[in-house]
A and B are shown apart, each in its own frame.
Chain A
Amino acid sequence: MSKERVIEIQHLSKSFGNNEVLKDINFSVNKGEVVCIIGSSGSGKSTLLRCINMLEKPDGGKIIYKGKNILQEGHDIYKYRAKLGMVFQQFNLFKNHNALSNCVVGQVKVLGRSEEEAKEVAMKYLKVVGMENYIHAKPRQLSGGQQQRIAIARALSMEPDVMLFDEPTSALDPEMVGEVLKVMKELANTGLTMLIVTHEMGFAREVADRVVFMDKGVIAEEGTPEEIFNNPKEERTKEFLKRILNEDLD
């Protein structure tokens, strides 16, 4: 695997009031790599993802993309964001657009693609997520799993350099988790660069090239799934895994 870095984060910090949510975060995502972020609730996983695409403004540090620090004044964050695909826990499909048009509108308005080209691209990715038969459906007419698959297609349609997922299956009924994870596994196999916040340990173990464990705003440990799940070095990683595996057994 090539070691070309898509995104590199240096000394990133973020506070909400006096709540220090991210402290001196350093890590990078390489091209074609699938990185899973795990950690207990409130450890700052979502905030990290949201800082990476600037939905939250970091207080300090650097985010290096294509050799440039995007936190520098005057950087075109709209262009940058278009290069990162984001999939939310709550899907957030545009309610006023149908499935196809959800995947088209960004391409046309942001990337300046023609309507025709955008539709072709959208159809390609709607097929990838198995939703090509639902192009006329409005979000409210679809199940959670279907909405999330369209949300993935919408992000893919922008042909981003990296896809960010924030607990994409946490808001889904159990029987729909599988269909979304299946799509994500397929995407991982195509060599797409993915950064995934997840509570699905089985999934992380199976698809991740690297697992990052976050605790109280810092990266406590990172390594291959083998290292993290079978031989965790840090005490808090062990505790977290024990807790979460017990939950899964309940």
Chain B
Amino acid sequence: MSLEWLIRIATNYWPMFLRGAWITLLISIVGTVVGFIIGLCVGVIKTIPLPEKGSKRIFLKTINGLLSAYIEFFRGTPMIVQSMVFYYGTALVFDIHIDRLLAAMIIVSVNTGAYMSEIVRGGISSIDKGQFEAAHAIGMNHVQTMTNVVLPQVVRNILPATGNEFVINIKDTSVLNVISVTELYFQTKTIAGNNFRYTEAFFITSIIYFVMTFTVTRILRAFERKLDGPENYNMLGNQMQVAIPKKLD
């Protein structure tokens, strides 16, 4: 590895690196956000209490079975294989050529969704039973209980795990080069191949990956702290007219 080549590749190809990094980041953000939403939905559905009998019970059980199959399949197969099956499969079976970037986003979202579903389910079952009971006792139904009481707590609790998924996604989008998405790894391969300088090109890329994952981790930490709010509350003085705040929280 020579410093000269490092500098030369960096100065000549920085727009390509940057573009690759941007695509990687874009796929990871979309994949994590959509996967998070999928995970929340699946988690909520999977925790609906089963009615004791009737067609509703059978319906819910079927849905749960399908969701379990989805989770097991996507957690049990490599994303690189999923991408091939999905990208070439849609072309073959439906005779459509789906945009590569879109295909990549769909793959990462669905994959992340499978992992997030389990994380959310775990998050919901770790919430104290008393929270559900208090919400029910006040007259809330399942959806109201979830949206107003349980999920806000779950989201806060699973934020570190979500950040972890985000970091994994930044790194794992590199496998999408098999369907020729112009993410960072694919771009680097092209640059390296053009110059026959693999070490230098991939060294630069390793730094870019690290900067991205490190920054994301820091930003999420700061976000967690912000969500937790101040350590102390302001006590309203006894003499003071008690003001009713405009906004809750």
**Chain A residues proximal to chain B, CB less than 8 Å:** 53, 55, 78-84, 86, 88, 90-98, 100-101, 104-106, 109-111, 115, 119-120, 123, 132-138, 141, 151, 154-155, 158
Is B136 positioned at the interface, with any CB of A under 8 Å from its CB?
A: yes
Min CB gap A76→B, angstroms:
10
Tell yes or no: B245 within 8 A of A by CB.
Answer: yes
**A92-B245 contact, Cβ under 8 Å, with A133-B238, A134-B235, A135-B236:** no
Q: Tell me whether A133 and B237 are in contact in the complex, defined as CB-CB below 8 angstroms, given that A93-B134, A109-B148, A120-B244 are known contacts.
A: yes
Partner of B139, one of A82, A95, A134: A82
Of all chain A residues, the one with the shortest Cβ separation from B153 is A96
Answer whether A79 and B137 are a contact pair too, CB < 8 Å, given A133-B238, A135-B236. no
Roughly how many angstroms separate A84 CA and B133 CA in the complex, as a whole number? 13
Residues of B within 8 A of A (CB): 128, 130-131, 133-141, 144, 148-149, 152-153, 156, 229, 232-238, 242, 244-245, 248-249
A82 to B138, CA, bound (A): 5
A106 adjacent to B131 (CB under 8 Å): no
> Is B242 a contact of A123 with CB atoms below 8 Å?
yes
Q: Select one of B131, B136, B138, B233 contacting A134, CB under 8 A.
A: B233
Q: Which of A55, A78, A83 contacts B140 (CB 8 A)?
A: A78
Report whether A78 and B139 are in contact in the complex, using a CB–CB cutoff of 8 Å: yes
Q: Given contacts A98-B249, A106-B140, are A88 and B133 in contact (CB under 8 A)?
A: yes
Give CA–CA (A67, B125) in the complex, Å: 38
- Minimal beta-carbon separation of A157 from chain B (angstroms): 9
A138 CA to B249 CA in the complex, in Å?
9
Complex interface: chain A residues within 8 A of B238 (CB): 133
Most B C-beta atoms less than 10 A away, residue of A53, A86, A94, A134: A94
Question: Which residues of chain A have C-beta atoms less than 8 A from B128's C-beta?
Answer: 92, 95
Known: A92-B131, A100-B248. 7 other contacts (CB 8 A): A53-B137, A78-B139, A81-B136, A94-B149, A98-B248, A106-B140, A141-B232
